[in-house]
Amino acid sequence: MSDNKHFILGVFDDEDVLMHAVHDIRHEGVKIHEVFTPYPIHGLDENLGYKRSRLPMAAFLFGMTGASLALTMMVSMNGFDWPMNVGGKPNASIPNFIPITFEGTVLFAAFGMVGTFFTASSLFPWSKPVIFDKRITDDKFVMAIDLSKNKFSKEQLSHILKSNGATEVNEKEL
Amino acid sequence: MQVSSSIRPPLITGGKTLHDVTNDICRHVESKPNPTWLLAFGLSVLTLSYGLYNVYRTLWYGIGEWGLNKTVGWAWDITNFVWWVGIGHAGTLISAVLLLFRQKWRTSINRAAEAMTIFAVLCAASFILCHMGRPWVGYWPLPLPNTFGSLWVNFNSPLVWDVFAISTYLSVSLVFWYIGMIPDLSTIRDRATSKVSKIVYGAMSFGWTGGAKDWSRYESVSLILAGLSTPLVLSVHTIVSMDFATSVIPGWHTTIFPPYFVAGAIFSGFAMVLTLMIITRAVYKLEDYITIEHIETMNKIIILTGSIVGVAYLTEFFIAWYSGVEYETYCFINRATGPYWWAYWSMMTCNVISPQLFWIKKIRRSIAATFIISVIVNIGMWFERFVIIVSSLHRDYVPSSWAMFYATSVDVGVYINSFGLFFTLFFLFSKFLPVVNMAEIKSVLKSSSEIVPVSNSSSVHAH
């Protein structure tokens, strides 16, 4: 493969047209690099054949970590390291520790999941994104097709995109 | 591109296209601040400076600057703290609970409501810091090793639970708010013309491109954050109420407090959202985004929560009598007929009677009436906290220690400080960040899908 990546970009104006196009174009055997949209479209990820995100699992595991850390912290501090006699009640009294255990769970689950999301999608303040078209974040839906990964020619792809409702077909080299 | 359905009324009016949405929301971020904004922002900064002078007096001379005494040890400080935390709850409710219930109308107001949550919680935190008296040792409630000056904290205390609850709530809300803003910040980045805004919004948008994989993850994250925030928001005000409920003060020691506080929080929060949104929609000309339908729906939630609060007031009174506890009964009779009768009856009028006016459709759909009632509700909710705190404390078990609380100018000044802080932050937000969630608005523009013919894409442009 050459260093330069050559992309064919199909620009769409409408989400329904795009959804049908994604389905039909994939059916014709074209490998789609990625579809860029101004807003989340329900079902687009399934249409593109993406697997379900495993972020819920990450959230669960981080949440469990938070719960155990919070509980361990409270039991070890109040129960063993420096027990305090408060009205003769048990030193490590689990019912009283539930609120903070809950907060610890939520805190770890939320931050752990968001951290995983940022890492997986490489979302950082210093990220240098590849912007195929500046109108993506406004009102255009762009389907990017990597020319080197497809057996079709530029003209064939352009024709496929146009016949599936693309209003423009552009090229971009990276 | 808006395609209207004959069955369902559109959530956004005015026949907006996707590009119109971008233009309408980005306009105020990109243009120079207008004179109204400058005036409002200037006034907020002025208010904040006056407030900070009073905070300085509190910190330099001590809590003695306030009207507290040995009997009434908590008054305006905790009243204001609970009031602001309660206001904050509406933001999370709108963004999380309504997301779980698939209430799509929330998209127009969730951004501003979440911002309001964060600023309100910051205001609440400022009272906690001030009322400590020695804020430079404000880290003592944290579980730090004994060498830092205190023993391990006592995890049996609701005040410690509160530290964890409020800080978790603030940080999780902040993350939720920011994640929702990343796609919109990238819209501003892609439209930016000046070098500074290209760099600033470029960094703030975290390199978002709008790829389908990223959107899929974004949706997962939003849904789970909503699922986490829903019990979180309930836990926060529950724990705040336990600061009172686990004590043995008559008037505080009641099991009704957690649900009653949560309902009150949603009640005052929605009122504050309405107050702010009515101003914001007029200033930024967002009448097509925040419509009368939105206002009416929120007013219905105000009737519901206002009625729950009303039932709670009556239940408290009934239980005070039914329990047969002399102190409890006296406390409630004293609230209604004692020296603080005016606070009690202000609370009753503002919170129980005024929202009932929303049963009348004309009032519920009137912007002026909604604005007035939303302000009245928040006045009432302030009095509710004042009544609970001060009227329960001021006559304790020994009549020789009975006392009154009189607010000093510094008490008032520290309260004014929180308004200055809140509005300074809110005006900064409304100028430099997108006040309405553009991406989510775009996703609800079409009231109905699948009615556009696939092959004939030219017909899509018809409005």
Q: What is the pLDDT of residue A32?
A: 85
Low-confidence winner among A122-131, B74-83, B222-231, B243-252 (lowest mean pLDDT): A122-131
CATH number for the domain spanning A13: value is 3.30.70
B251 Rama sector, left if φ>0, alpha if ψ -120 to 50, beta otherwise: left
> In the numeric block, which tokens belong to residue B226?
């909503």
Radius of gyration of chain B (CA): 24
Q: What mean pLDDT value characterizes chain A?
A: 86
In DSSP terms, which residues pair with B387 in a beta bridge?
none
The rounded distance, in Å, linking the Cα atoms of B180 and B192 is 20
**Is residue A50 domain-resident?**
no
Nearest to B224 among A59, A86, A124 (CB): A59
**Domain range list for chain B:** 18-310+405-452
**B218: pLDDT strictly greater than 70:** yes
Nearest to B207 among A56, A73, A129 (CB): A129
Strands A141-146 and A6-12 come out as antiparallel
Q: Residues B87, B91, B92, B93: is their CA dihedral positive or negative?
A: positive
**Is residue A164 domain-resident?**
yes
pLDDT category of residue B149 using cuts at 50, 70 and 90: low
The rounded distance, in Å, linking the Cα atoms of A128 and A136 is 16
**For A96-108, what is the mean pLDDT?**
94
**For A51-70, what is the mean pLDDT?**
92
DSSP state of B146: G
**A162: pLDDT strictly greater than 90:** no
Q: What is the pLDDT of residue B408?
A: 92
| The domain boundary residue, chosen from A120, A144, A164 | A120
Which residue in B has a C-alpha nearest to residue A121's C-alpha?
B214
For chain A, the domain total comes to: 2
**B3: pLDDT strictly greater than 60:** no
Q: pLDDT per residue over B367-406, tens digit each? A: 899 999 999 999 999 999 999 999 999 998 888 999 999 9
Q: Residues A11, A15, A18, A22: is their CA dihedral positive or negative?
A: positive
**For B237-248, what is the mean pLDDT?**
91
**Is residue A32 domain-resident?**
yes
**B461: pLDDT strictly greater than 50:** no
Place of tokens 């001379």: B61
**B65: pLDDT strictly greater than 80:** yes
**A43: pLDDT strictly greater than 80:** yes
**A107: pLDDT strictly greater than 90:** yes
Choose between A73 and B288: higher pLDDT: A73
Q: What is the pLDDT of residue B271?
A: 92
Q: What is the pLDDT of residue B14?
A: 66
User: Contact B164/A127, CB-based, under 8 Å?
Assistant: no
DSSP string, A88-140: T--SS-HHHHHHHHHHHHHHHHHHHHHHHHHHHTT--TT-----S-TTTTTT-
**B33: pLDDT strictly greater than 90:** no
**For B67-91, what is the mean pLDDT?**
90
Contact status, residue B301 vs residue B266, Cβ threshold 8 Å: yes
A32 and A69 together in one domain: no
Domain that holds residue A23: 6-38+136-173
Which residue in B has a C-alpha nearest to residue A123's C-alpha?
B206
Q: pLDDT per residue over B413-434, tens digit each? A: 999 999 999 999 999 998 888 8
Hey, of B2, B11, B18, which one would you mutate to test binding to chain A, going by the most A CBs within 10 A of its CB? B18
Burial of B282 (0-12, 13-18, 19+ CB in 10 A): middle
User: Contact B209/A59, CB-based, under 8 Å?
Assistant: no
**Is residue A161 domain-resident?**
yes
**B19: pLDDT strictly greater than 90:** no
pLDDT over 90, % of chain B = 46
Q: pLDDT per residue over B253-266, tens digit each? A: 888 999 999 999 99
Predicted complex ipTM: 0.91
A32 and A60 together in one domain: no
Q: What is the pLDDT of residue A136?
A: 84
Hey, of A53, A75, A121, which one would you mutate to test binding to chain B, going by the most B CBs within 10 A of its CB? A121
**Is residue A28 domain-resident?**
yes
Q: What is the pLDDT of residue B452?
A: 44
**A95: pLDDT strictly greater than 60:** yes
**For B37-61, what is the mean pLDDT?**
92
Q: What is the pLDDT of residue B397?
A: 86
Q: What is the pLDDT of residue B288?
A: 81
Q: pLDDT per residue over B283-292, tens digit each? A: 888 888 888 8
Q: What mean pLDDT value characterizes chain B?
A: 86
Hey, of A47, A139, A174, which one would you mutate to test binding to chain B, going by the most B CBs within 10 A of its CB? A139
- B215 and A CB contact within 8 Å: yes
- Alpha helices by DSSP H, listed for B246-356, are 257-283, 292-322, 326-337, 341-347
**B4: pLDDT strictly greater than 60:** no
Place of tokens 């849904």: B223
Shortest Cα distance, chain B CAs vs residue A86, angstroms: 9
**B49: pLDDT strictly greater than 90:** yes
Q: What is the pLDDT of residue B332?
A: 92
Q: What is the pLDDT of residue B450?
A: 43
**Is residue A80 domain-resident?**
yes
Low-confidence winner among B272-276, B395-399, B451-455 (lowest mean pLDDT): B451-455
**Is residue A147 domain-resident?**
yes
Low-confidence winner among A79-93, B168-182, B268-282, B331-345 (lowest mean pLDDT): A79-93
Q: Which of A5-9, A158-162, B367-371 has the highest mean pLDDT?
A: B367-371
pLDDT category of residue B9 using cuts at 50, 70 and 90: low
- B-chain CB neighbours of A122 within 8 Å are 207
User: Contact A45/B216, CB-based, under 8 Å?
Assistant: yes
**For A55-78, what is the mean pLDDT?**
93
Q: Residues B215, B220, B221, B226: is their CA dihedral positive or negative?
A: positive
Choose between B105 and A34: higher pLDDT: A34
**B85: pLDDT strictly greater than 80:** yes
A34 and A68 together in one domain: no
Q: What is the pLDDT of residue A3?
A: 59
Which residue in B has a C-alpha nearest to residue A37's C-alpha?
B210
**B215: pLDDT strictly greater than 80:** yes
Side chain identity at residue A44, one-letter code: L
Q: What is the pLDDT of residue B453?
A: 41
- Among B198, B199, B206, smallest CA distance to B180 is for B206
Find residues 309-338 of chain B whose CB sits inside 8 Å of chain A. Answer: none
